[in-house]
């Protein structure tokens, strides 16, 4: 085979000068481009981090708003329940004037209350009826209080309390004792 010889044309000094600049310029542009992409990547990461922080702040604010709304609703419901208890704790138009008789009515009102509010829970009602000492205890406490008015109030409250007041039984009795018990009668209203 015949070896072919290629000749390289000789560059002029100006072309040689520009040619020697091309490689460093290309390298510099590559470094600049690389530097720009690193800066862009860092900026994107910072933006993503800021967005995540803002989303977390917004989520935290939403949780706080919901929690405060729930607390406000619970406080309003409790205030409404207490107002309903207070509205139930009143004297009826007519009531017996003898303590023994009105205290017996408290015991009957308690049984009627339990029958009404636990009608859909036969097991609870059976336990209640199997324990007559609870009724005897409420009658004894009534007699011990010595207030015909407080007892009459309790009869009225128990007879008129709605089913959702099943767990408010002690509060109904206490509200009447606070309003009409001996201490309430002895102390003038403030």
From first to last of its 190 residues, the chain has per-residue pLDDT tens of 555 555 555 656 555 555 565 555 555 555 555 567 888 899 899 999 989 999 999 999 999 999 999 999 999 988 998 999 999 999 999 888 999 999 999 999 999 999 998 888 889 888 888 888 888 898 999 998 889 999 999 999 999 998 888 888 899 999 999 999 876 544 444 4
Same domain, 58 and 108: no
Q: Compute the C-alpha angle 150/109/147, nearest 5°.
A: 15
Q: Is the same domain home to 110 and 65?
A: no
Please tell me the total count of domains within the chain: 2
- Domain assignment of residue 82, yes or no: yes
Query: Among 41, 69, 88, which residue terminates a domain?
Result: 88
**148 close to 95: Cβ distance less than 8 angstroms:** yes
> Which residue range(s) make up the domain with 49?
31-88
Cα 89–chain centre separation:
29
On whether the CB atoms of residues 175 and 92 are closer than 8 A, the answer is: no
Q: Based on DSSP, count helices (H) and strands (E) in the chain, helices before strands.
A: 7, 0
Domain termination site, one of 65, 88, 111: 88
**Sequence-distant (≥ 6) Cβ neighbours of residue 88 within 8 angstroms:** 156, 157, 160, 161, 165, 172, 175
> Same structural domain for residues 50 and 98?
no
Last residue of a domain, one of 39, 70, 88: 88
């Amino acid at each position: 085979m015949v070896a072919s010889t290629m000749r390289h044309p000789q560059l002029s000094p100006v072309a040689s000068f520009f040619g020697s600049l091309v490689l460093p310029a290309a390298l510099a542009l590559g470094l600049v481009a690389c530097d720009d992409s690193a800066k862009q990547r860092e900026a994107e990461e910072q933006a993503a981090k800021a967005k995540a922080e803002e989303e977390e702040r917004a989520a935290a604010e939403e949780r706080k708003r919901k929690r405060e709304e729930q607390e406000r609703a619970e406080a309003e419901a409790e205030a409404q329940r207490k107002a309903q208890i207070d509205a139930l704790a009143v004297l009826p138009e007519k009531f017996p004037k003898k303590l023994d008789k009105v205290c017996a009515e408290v015991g009957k009102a308690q049984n009627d209350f339990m029958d009404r509010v636990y009608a859909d829970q036969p097991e609870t009602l059976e336990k209640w009826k199997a324990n007559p000492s609870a009724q005897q205890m409420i009658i004894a406490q009534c007699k011990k209080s010595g207030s015909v008015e407080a007892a009459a109030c309790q009869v009225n409250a128990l007879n008129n309390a709605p089913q959702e007041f099943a767990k408010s039984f002690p509060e109904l009795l206490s509200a009447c004792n606070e309003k009409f018990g001996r201490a309430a009668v002895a102390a003038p209203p403030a």
